[in-house]
Amino acid sequence: AASDPDLVERARVARAALGDRAFVLGHHYQRDEVIAFADVTGDSFKLAREAAARPDAEHVVFCGVHFMAESADILTSDAQQVVLPDLAAGCSMADMAAIDQVEDAWDVLVDAGVAQDTVPVTYMNSTAAIKAFTGRHGGTVCTSSNAHVALRWAFDRVGGVGGRGKVLFMPDQHLGRNTAVLGLGLSLDDCVVYDPRRPGGGLTTQQLRDARMILWRGHCSVHGRFSARNVEQVRERVPGVNVLVHPECTHDVVTAADMVGSTEYIIKALDAAEPGSSWAVGTELNLVRRLAAAHPELTVHYLDSTVCFCSTMNRIDLPHLVWTLEQLVAGRVPNRIVVDPDDAHWARVALDQMLALPG
Ligand code: 13P
Ligand code: SF4
C-alpha cells in the first residue's frame, strides 16, 4: 500500500534536518516505507559492520529488531546513541534463550564433564547477555553468512572437526544443524538438542558426551514455517524452478532446496540469475516482494502460499520512524538502547572475534 504522503514528507524534512548527525540502518526484512529512508540496508552482519564504521554519527537509528540495536550499541562509542524506533520490536528466536537458562545449561555440561571441551557459538540473533556469556567462555558470535567459518574456528579450538570437542550452538537449532551437517560434514547423529524447559536439557550424560553439536532448542517463527511439502509443491507447480532458502529453515527444507544462504546471499543469487529463470524463495516476505519487484526479468515466487512477514520487524513502520526522527530533531533521544557495561565488554569480545574470522 502507498504510504501516507504527509508522513513521507515529515520523515523527509526530519531526516534532512538531522543530516550527518544521524545514520539510519535498515534490515532487509523492514517494510518498503522504512527502507526508503535507510542510509544503508543489509543483513545483520553487514549492519553490525556499518554501525561500527560510523563513529561520527551521533544518533544511530536502527530499523531492525532489539538484538541488532544492542549489537550496534556495543560496537559504537559511548558518545553515540542507538535508537530502536519501537521498543516492542523484539525477536522470538532471541527470546528463546534466556541468560539464566544458558548458565544452567553450562552447569549441566560441567556436571557431565564436557564443558572444558566445549566452545559456545551464538548466533547474532541473541541477547547481549548471551553474547557476553559466549565471550566470557572463549566463544564467538556468528551470523548466517559466516556460521560455517565460526563453527570451524570453534572446533579448531578443541581438537578440530575430526576430533572429539564440541560446540554449544545458540539459539537457532536449524542454523546450527544445517551448518554442521552441510557445511562441516558432521552427521545428524552428531547433533543433540538441548531443551531448556526440561531438567538437564532432556539429555543424558552419555548423550552429551557423545555429541559434537549441542543445539539450543530455538527457532525462527518465520523461517521455521516453511516445509519440505512447500518445496515439493512449488516444484510441481513451476517446472524448472530454483528453490533458494535461508539456513534458519528446517533441515528437511534446506536439503530439499537447491541453494541455501543468508539474506545477502539470496540477494546476490538473484542478481546473478539467468534472465527468464524461475525462483522460489524461502525467507521473509518483505524481502521477497522487493526482490520480485527489482527483478522483472525473473519469475520470483514465494515458497509458501501463506503470508510470512516477521511480525516484530514489521512493528517498525513509517509512523514510528517519523516520531523517532522528529524527537531527535527536537533534541530528545527516544527508545535508546543501552547495554549493561560489563555485558557490553564481554559481548564485544565475542563480536570482535566474529569480525576477526577469516572471509
Ligand atoms: P540475516 O540477516 O543474517 O540473514 O538473518 C536473518 C534474520 O532472521 C534476521 O533476523
Ligand atoms: Fe527473529 Fe526470525 Fe524475525 Fe529474524 S525473521 S527477527 S530470526 S523472528
Over residues 89-136, the pLDDT tens digits come to 999 999 999 999 999 999 999 999 999 999 999 999 999 999 999 999
CA–CA dist 67, 92 (Å, integer): 11
Cis geometry, peptide bond prior to residue 171 (ω within 30 degrees of 0): yes
The yes/no answer on whether domain 223-302 falls in CATH 3.90.1150.10 is no
Instruction: Find the 5 Cα to ligand 1 centroid distance in Å.
Output: 30
First to last CA, the chain: 39
Over residues 117-127, the pLDDT tens digits come to 999 999 999 99
Over residues 151-163, the pLDDT tens digits come to 999 999 999 999 9
220 lines ligand 1 (CB under 6 A): yes
65 lines ligand 2 (CB under 6 A): yes
Q: For 7, left (φ over 0), alpha (ψ -120 to 50), or beta? A: alpha
Instruction: Find the 159 Cα to ligand 2 centroid distance in Å.
Output: 33
The yes/no answer on whether domain 94-221 falls in CATH 3.40.50.10800 is yes
Q: pTM to 2 decimals?
A: 0.95
Which ipTM did the prediction report? 0.96
Q: Where are the domains of the chain?
A: 5-89+316-340, 94-221, 223-302
CA–CA dist 242, 209 (Å, integer): 40
91 lines ligand 2 (CB under 6 A): yes
Q: Give domain 5-89+316-340's CATH superfamily.
A: NadA-like (3.40.50.10800)
Cβ atoms of 31 and 7 within 8 Å: the answer is no
Same fold, 5-89+316-340 and 94-221: yes
Instruction: Find the 221 Cα to ligand 2 centroid distance in Å.
Output: 7
The residue count of the chain comes to 359
3 state DSSP class of 123: strand
CA–CA dist 281, 67 (Å, integer): 25
127 lines ligand 2 (CB under 6 A): no
Torsion, Cα 324 327 328 334, to 10 degrees, reads -60
